[in-house]
Structure formats: structure tokens, C-alpha cells
Amino acid sequence: MSTSKTIREKIWTKLKDVARPDTRFHMNFAEVIPDFEGSEAATERVVQDRAYADSRFAFITPDNCLADLRRRMIEAGKPFVMSTYGDLPRVPVPGSRNSA
């Protein structure tokens, strides 16, 4: 077994103790980063951090544990870019190779 796989399995074993099940992937940590007990306090720490206060925009992932942070950024008028999961259909861009 590879070192990264061993580390991943150790983390997932501990994560099961605090993770909140996802509606789509339940506790399949290979598919989703779950919300967790204490994520509200973690969000508060981020929002209170000077780097957050000084930021003009952010990149944020669609992980469940960041839903409250994304909501707070919207309320504060902080723009962000968010990636998506790979299972979404592609939108054709006119003039590109993937356009009809």
C-alpha cells in the first residue's frame, strides 16, 4: 500500500468521528470533503482573520464545510470563484472547440 493511501485511510478513519454525512455521497470521503463538527467555529476564525478582512476576492472550493463561509462572503459582498464537481455538464463557449 502506498504511503499516501495509508495516510488517507488514517485521516478518513478519524474523520468518521466528526464528519456530517453528505446528502449525495454520505460518508464517501473519496468523493466529497464533508462538513464537520466545529466548522462554524472554523468559519468564524477565518472571518476574524486579518487576511480575510484585507482580501478583495477569494478562490473557494465547493466543500460542504465551507458552505457557511461562502454564505458569509456573499453577505459581505466579497467576490469569489468556486470550482465545481466534475460531474456537471459543460456549457459550450461560442467560438471554442466545444461549441456546437
**Predicted model pTM:** 0.66
Say if residues 98 and 90 touch (Cβ distance below 8 Å): yes
pLDDT at position 51 is: 96
Distance (Å, rounded) from C-alpha 73 to C-alpha 82? Answer: 12
- Residues 69 and 55 sit within 8 Å (Cβ to Cβ): no
Q: What does the pLDDT look like over 34-57, one tens digit per residue? A: 778 889 999 999 999 999 999 999
Domain extent listing, the chain: 1-34, 38-86
Contact status, residue 20 vs residue 37, Cβ threshold 8 Å = yes
> What is the per-residue pLDDT for 5?
87
pLDDT at 83: 84
Distance of CA 31 to the CA centre of its chain: 12
The mean predicted confidence, pLDDT, of the chain is 82
Give the residue, 18 or 80, on which the prediction is more confident: 80
